[in-house]
């Protein structure tokens, strides 16, 4: 059947239980304090470092691409100007060549 509770055994164990509960509570508080300190340390390190290095890198890449586009446009403009000048020169040269080609083919006689 059921045994009676022995107070000689129950009282010392109650003290052990209260001591164990106190230790558990202090452990939880210590862990929370440690976590808070670690979190504060991490945020301090994050504030000291560059906010986002990938954004800096992206900005640098975009700047280089913009410079390349500008230089490419500048080169295209130069080549276009050279082509225009060359076309004007070739049209002048062709006129001179045709004039030179016609000279000497026909003899104009005046009597």
Exposure of 13 in the CB half-sphere (CA atoms within 13 A) = 6
For the entire predicted model, the pTM comes to 0.35
pLDDT, the chain, mean: 77
Is the residue at 39 inside a domain? yes
Tell whether 83 and 56 lie within a shared domain.
yes
Tell whether 44 and 74 lie within a shared domain.
no
pLDDT-based confidence at residue 31 (cuts at 50, 70, 90): very high
pLDDT-based confidence at residue 40 (cuts at 50, 70, 90): very high
Percentage, residues of the chain above pLDDT 90: 23
Place of tokens 């225009």: 84
Higher pLDDT, 5 or 68: 68
Is the residue at 110 inside a domain? no
Give the domain extent around 69.
52-98
Is the residue at 2 inside a domain? no
Phi, psi of 58 (to 5 degrees): -65, -40
Give the other-Cβ count within 10 Å of 55's Cβ.
10
Is the residue at 105 inside a domain? no
The pLDDT value recorded for residue 28 is: 92
Tell whether 56 and 43 lie within a shared domain.
no
Is the residue at 35 inside a domain? yes
- For the cut 70, the answer to whether the pLDDT of residue 52 exceeds it is no
Number of domains in the chain: 2
Is the residue at 64 inside a domain? yes
What is the rounded CA–CA span in Å between residue 27 and residue 63? 54
């Amino acid at each position: 059947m059921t045994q009676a509770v022995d107070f000689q055994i129950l009282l010392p164990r109650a003290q052990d239980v209260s001591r164990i509960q106190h230790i558990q509570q202090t452990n939880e508080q210590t862990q929370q304090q440690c976590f808070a300190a670690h979190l504060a340390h991490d945020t301090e390190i994050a504030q000291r470092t560059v906010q986002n290095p990938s954004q800096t890198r992206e900005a640098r890449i975009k700047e280089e691409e913009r410079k390349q586009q500008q230089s490419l446009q500048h080169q295209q403009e130069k080549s276009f100007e050279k082509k225009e000048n060359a076309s004007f020169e070739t049209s002048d040269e062709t006129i001179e060549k045709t004039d030179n080609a016609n000279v000497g083919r026909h003899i104009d006689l005046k009597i």
